[in-house]
Amino acid sequence: MAKNVKIVDDSNFDAEVLNATGPVLVDFYTTWCGPCKMLSPIVEKLADEFPGKLTVAKVDLDQAPILASKFGISSVPTIIVFEGGKAKASHTGLANRQKLLELAGVS
């Protein structure tokens, strides 16, 4: 796991994501999902490339069922970018680096 990735669950989501300053890219995943495993290194690299510009968090939905329900996540991986406490962009399924940068609005 990249050092700049925050591990988030039901107990700390509001503090780490909704109350954060700037955009927060959240990777909702499960450990048994193949596409999630392929997306993970891309997400983690973004966390290391854009410290201070983009916060990156990962949520294991098997460990955070309340969040899965709250955001209506029925397929993984799902990426949601939050800013100012609100979801501003999302993508479900495998995505490349460029797509994630577009969602997050960073370059």
Which residues are the active-site residues?
Answer: 33, 36
Tokens of 38: 């392929």
How does pLDDT run across 52-66, given as a tens digit for each residue? 999 999 999 999 999
CB-CB contact of 90 with 81 (8 Å):
yes
Q: What is the DSSP letter of 5?
A: E
Q: Which residues of the chain have pLDDT under 50?
A: none
Q: Go through the domains of the chain in sequence order and give each one's CATH number.
A: 5-104 (3.40.30.10)
CB-CB contact of 56 with 47 (8 Å):
yes
CB-CB contact of 55 with 24 (8 Å):
yes
Report whether the peptide linkage leading into residue 35 is cis, meaning its omega lies within 30 degrees of zero: no
* Cα Rg of the chain, angstroms: 12
Structure confidence at residue 107 (pLDDT): 78
CB-CB contact of 27 with 39 (8 Å):
yes
Structure confidence at residue 102 (pLDDT): 96
